[in-house]
Copies of this chain bind each other. A is one copy, B any other.
């Protein structure tokens, strides 16, 4: 078995080393390049290295490197990254290497290694050693460059088998309906994934009162319109309250995970961030710098118009589809025998067109967001999400909006909604039952066998299969699914009141499927710290506001209201005025509710303020200590002139010490 090549410091030796991250190099990689890479990974910081440990790997192809890190390097880097940790007094403060014994430590080892690797910069290499055609510029992130030139196929964190088994047994392996072990998920998979599962759980639980109220209202003997109005009002208040409660809950989660206060300005820039080297005005570290105004120009003059263009395409596509459908229907009614299958063609064409647009747009959105050159990974993700989200939302809901407000065919809307919900559920249930089956029969047996039988097999044989899995695609599609659910349940709630029940059933299985997918179908993703669900919070809140408008409109155009008007001699004009009045009142209630419920729980605020207070006191202390002895006398400007004469005798030493003070 090969040995770990360690950085030149002499510590952390003679103990078993757990490989943390695997690098998969190109199969025909030049040995010189591999040696250079290994050198850079393990070299000292002063030589432009990462001070990590690297192991050449023992696989048959020889194209794998395993990276680990000594504890003190991990801890030093934790301090540089500004990670927040639980201090012995129960508050969360920025980790300090010198004071490490007073911090509770948890596992962000792979995250730290990732950040360290990403930050290895070219020093004086003009090209990648071994490949003179592949140039490097000083300060370029070499991992980014290696990935772009396909010399580095992938790098991914490795599973910790024991911890994974432990996590699985508490998460989804058992048959009972329990809450998820969110904190363990956070420790193993990081903030952003734990945040998603926590939100999924929270959302599902908070659908329960809606489901109960929905069934109760529709069991009562009331007029249909009254029921609709009652249910809509409940739904609107419900959506506001749950989003506010979630905000509070996510603050608590982020605080206890130490991600709430990670000031993004202290963070290291993301790997793809380009720009001439400058000094970070806050930390005074040397970092690339790209002006904000340039990014804003790119966003407003290129990205936004491109989005609008694609939206126009999509809407235009919908209208063509609707015309085509009408035309085919007309054709069919003329000539009924042979054109039966033709009826489905417009729908299929439209779906194909939307799918193509979706794929194409996502590619373009990624390129655009990369080009916008965001400094932080979170900012990059948020901008990408917004771009794709708006487009998907329009694609998902434009047909429903068209049916409800242009055609005003509420019966068709109800059918469409029910079919969408039930279809989603069936597909999900199908996956839910099929996936574990597939996993257990086909893949599970194979790896299970390996694990049990060859307990002392070379480490590399356990690592290899992990690399063969597909890359984790991120949480976007999972959030999108919840977002669409929330849209169905909020925007058209008065039309189809049973949606909450269907969604609850769906989400209970959803949690297990998602967990299983994460643990076994994909490569383990790197931890990414998250203080909240980012733009999704705004997206869900926007749906909440839109739902007020749609529900009021739906009620005012419902056939029952029209009948009622006809019976009671009420003009449609006054109905409309009523609907607008109610809509504005509900919007006002929503805004007041959002304002009245505090975003941050009191105890979290107190703890943060306490640390802020202590920090300021400490800063004063430090500045004083540093400035002691050489703060020159400030020129004297007498501010205490005139007035009543002070009668006592002078005390010149203190007198002098007070001289610097100007007006005070």
Please report A residues at the B interface, Cβ cutoff 8 Å: 1, 3-4, 6, 10-19, 55, 66, 70-72, 74-75, 78-79, 82, 87-88, 93-94, 96, 98-102, 104-109, 162, 187, 263, 265-266, 281-283, 292, 459, 549, 572-573, 576-577, 580, 584, 602, 606, 609-624, 627, 631-634, 639-651, 654-655, 658, 660-664
Q: Which of B55, B282, B549 contacts A584 (CB 8 A)?
A: B549
The residues of B that contact A619 with a CB separation of less than 8 Å are 93-94, 611, 614-615, 618-619
Q: Which of B72, B102, B292, B614 contacts A627 (CB 8 A)?
A: B102
Identical chains in the assembly: 2
The CA-CA distance from A479 to B662 in the complex, in Å, is: 34
A78 touches B642 (CB 8 A): no
The residues of B that contact A648 with a CB separation of less than 8 Å are 6, 13-14
Q: How far is the CB of A88 from chain B (nearest CB, A)?
A: 8
The CA-CA distance from A312 to B72 in the complex, in Å, is: 69
The residues of B that contact A19 with a CB separation of less than 8 Å are 643-644
Closest B residue, CB atoms, query A620: B96
The CA-CA distance from A589 to B11 in the complex, in Å, is: 60
Q: Which of B16, B70, B613, B650 contacts A642 (CB 8 A)?
A: B16
The residues of B that contact A616 with a CB separation of less than 8 Å are 82, 93-94, 615
B631 touches A1 (CB 8 A): no
The residues of B that contact A663 with a CB separation of less than 8 Å are 105-107, 109, 187
The residues of B that contact A609 with a CB separation of less than 8 Å are 263, 265-266, 282
B99 touches A4 (CB 8 A): no
A101 touches B660 (CB 8 A): yes
B459 touches A644 (CB 8 A): yes
Q: Which of B72, B106, B646 contacts A13 (CB 8 A)?
A: B646
The CA-CA distance from A617 to B622 in the complex, in Å, is: 10
Q: Known pairs A18-B640, A18-B643; list 5 more (Cβ under 8 Å).
A: A16-B646, A94-B616, A105-B661, A282-B606, A573-B573
Closest B residue, CB atoms, query A106: B663
B664 touches A93 (CB 8 A): no
Nearest first, the 9 closest Cβ-Cβ pairs linking A and B are: A96-B620, A615-B615, A11-B654, A99-B624, A14-B650, A105-B664, A18-B643, A618-B622, A618-B618
Closest B residue, CB atoms, query A650: B14
The residue among A55, A615, A649, A664 with the most chain B CB atoms within 10 A of its own CB is: A664
B75 touches A16 (CB 8 A): no
A643 touches B459 (CB 8 A): yes
The CA-CA distance from A47 to B191 in the complex, in Å, is: 53
Q: How far is the CB of A32 from chain B (nearest CB, A)?
A: 25
The CA-CA distance from A66 to B643 in the complex, in Å, is: 11
B18 touches A72 (CB 8 A): no
- For this complex, 25 residue pairs linking A to B, each with C-beta atoms less than 8 Å apart, are A18-B643, A70-B658, A82-B616, A96-B620, A96-B623, A100-B660, A101-B631, A101-B632, A101-B633, A104-B662, A106-B662, A108-B664, A162-B642, A263-B609, A265-B609, A282-B606, A283-B613, A292-B602, A572-B573, A573-B573, A576-B577, A576-B580, A614-B619, A615-B616, A621-B622
Q: How far is the CB of A590 from chain B (nearest CB, A)?
A: 13
The residue among A627, A644, A662 with the most chain B CB atoms within 10 A of its own CB is: A644
B646 touches A15 (CB 8 A): yes
B266 touches A613 (CB 8 A): yes
The CA-CA distance from A76 to B572 in the complex, in Å, is: 71
